[in-house]
Amino acid sequence: MSWFITGRRDGLVLRVSEAGVPILGGKGLHECRPADGGRFDKALLKRIEEAGCEWTITVPTQSELHIDPSAEGLYERVQEAPSQSHAAIQFFELDGNEFVGFSIVVPESTFEHIRRLLELVLLSDSLEYMATVNFLTFRAAHAQTETPTLEEFIDGKPLFVGEVTFLVKPISKQH
């Protein structure tokens, strides 16, 4: 189904790497909606829901170290199809806190559009962004795919996806 990332200008960062390649990043809120979520361990899903959220978006020309610092396979996917969007979602712990990290790589033309949208968010306290990362579900234990089970995901195995959409909208009254 979908994994949603939402946020406002607080925690939003537009930067350039030492090699001169642009990187977008932020800390936001996230919501995971796997297909048939009712079949998963509720305690593990709750752990994911309560984890912090950090994300980066960069372009395929960025260095391997910036795209895939843990050498989990995202860089190879990007190199095989640089004109497509790619993302790795990974659960991790840092200084006693749990996070879901999103490493997103998009073609340069897409990156420019997203950057312009985020610039609007930075300039306004009445806008928020939403990224939607589509994925089917976590793997059932008996299935033979590279998609991690929920347990493997909690243990740090990345979930690779390819479809990412981005939008900016007025802040809803629910926040």
Residue in the structure block whose two tokens are 């199809």: 81
Whose CA is closest to 114, among 104, 125, 124? Answer: 104
pLDDT in tens, 49-74: 999 999 999 999 988 988 998 889 99
pLDDT surpassing 60 at residue 38: no
Q: At 60, phi and psi to the nearest 5?
A: -65, -20
Residue 175 belongs to some domain of the structure: no
Residue 44 belongs to some domain of the structure: yes
The number of distinct structural domains making up the chain is 1
Residue 153 belongs to some domain of the structure: yes
Q: CA-CA distance, 151 to 153, in Å (whole number)?
A: 5
What is the domain range of residue 11?
2-170
What mean pLDDT do residues 116-136 have?
Answer: 93
